[in-house]
Amino acid sequence: MHAAAPVATAAPVGADTLAGSSPAVRQALDASHQVWLGPLRLDCGVELARFRVAYRTYGTLNVERSNAALVCHALTLDQFVADEHPVTGKPGWWDTLVGPGQPLDPARYFVICANVLGGCMGSTGPLDVDPATGKPYNLSFPVVTIADMVRAQAMLLDHLGIESLFCVVGGSMGGMQVLQWAAAYPKRVFAAIPIATAARHSAQNIAFNEIGRQAILADPGWHGGDYHAHGTLPARGLAVARMIAHITYLSEAALQRKFGRNLQDRTAVGFGFDADFQVESYLRHQGKSFVERFDADSYLYITRAMDYFDLAAEHGGNLANAFKGTPTRFCLMSFTSDWLFPTHESRTVVRALNAVAANVSFVEVETDKGHDAFLLDEPEMYRTLAGFLQGAANARGLKFPA
């Protein structure tokens, strides 16, 4: 697959904007495009005079600039949607969607995926140096929202000379961004595909996020968020946060099918607190590997952004008002075993779209794989995506090479 070579733009004059950051972040940034943009007024009232967006592109923008597809990433993912991750060496996290012969084939579409504002894979976030102090922001970085992330992406598209997107697609937190895009920039989005998501974060999801954040804050290595200056990492807290979150991405059926009560490398329980069970070993591995690629402060900020998301609240408490008069065509998808973003959350959005006579379709995919099903091999999901995208491309008048 063709992925355009990284392009670096000049950083603001002054100190290294990533001083003290991990080698992983620098490696990710080196493997990405990067551009400095600004100013950006955030929902919290703070203005970022300049901020960096790290992103990847796949394919070629057509002459009409009408084939651009924006992929919005979920909580702990990043811009490496369809090529090898420079830190983990793993394949792209959604190469079943973006790739040769896939629904978003780079031979047809110009695919863009950007690390969100507040992230830790190159876009400006708490790891960056505050130009006002010359020191890393850490917890002095302003709190960002999903709407702030989308405004930053819109400025990236302005920089790329893309006035209108063929489609915006994403799952989970990525789906929140899709809904925000459709509400805030309806004339810039021809088709929107929110998957396994909601128009606001539920009390249960806020609760799980808070447990994860408290695990990080309680880690002795956290040092009030200034752990890099102390040469430490809140590794245990971040690992626990990941373990908690990872359970919510799966279903009881998936856990039972994959692990059951099988023991890990032993024939009998050890009558102690080592990982007796395979599921314990699996979660410990998930926690350990996550610490190697993600930043704890970024985790605090991005989970908070999800908690604050409430699209109806931005429109007088009426979700339908967010989409009034929209020209965008929508395809929503949910999964029967997803208890993190259950189907009724998607149906709420569908009802709001129906209330304003929007062009909307909805599919509930039957699966026992839980919330993570949108990242896994689910043939019905990809058949639906392929069909919707082809219909939208026909309506848009896109012409593809034979």
**DSSP code string of 67-86:** -EEEEEP-TT--S-SSS--T
Give the pLDDT confidence score for residue 18 in this predicted structure: 62
- Cis peptide bond prior to 186, omega within 30° of 0: no
- Mean pLDDT calculated for residue range 182-198: 98
Give the pLDDT confidence score for residue 17 in this predicted structure: 67
HSE-up (13 A, CA, CB side) for residue 153: 34
In CATH terms, is domain 205-303 a member of 3.30.2130.30? no
HSE-up (13 A, CA, CB side) for residue 269: 6
Q: Decide: helix, strand or coil at residue 359.
A: strand
CA dist., res. 82 & res. 59, Å (int):
11
pLDDT above 50 (res 7): no
CA dist., res. 227 & res. 229, Å (int):
5
pLDDT in tens, 287-305: 999 998 999 999 999 999 9
Residue of 128, 307, 338, 372 with catalytic role? 338
Give the pLDDT confidence score for residue 27 in this predicted structure: 81
Q: How far is CA 385 from CA 363, 371, 388, in A?
A: 10, 17, 5
Nearest to 125 by CA among 138, 106, 112: 138
Residue of 123, 172, 334, 337 with catalytic role? 172
- Mean pLDDT calculated for residue range 204-215: 98
pLDDT above 80 (res 20): no
- The pLDDT > 70 percentage for the chain reads 95
Domain ranges of the chain: 23-201+310-396, 205-303
Residue pair 17/129 in contact by the 8 Å Cβ criterion: yes
Pairing label, strands 129-130, 329-335: unpaired
pTM given for the model: 0.94
Close Cβ partners of 394 (under 8 Å, ≥ 6 residues apart): none
371 tagged catalytic: yes
pLDDT above 60 (res 4): no
Give the pLDDT confidence score for residue 11 in this predicted structure: 47
CATH of 23-201+310-396, one of 3.30.413.10, 1.10.3720.10, 3.10.110.10, 3.40.50.1820: 3.40.50.1820
Residue of 21, 219, 371, 372 with catalytic role? 371
CA angle at 298 for the pair 157 and 28, rounded to the nearest 5°: 60
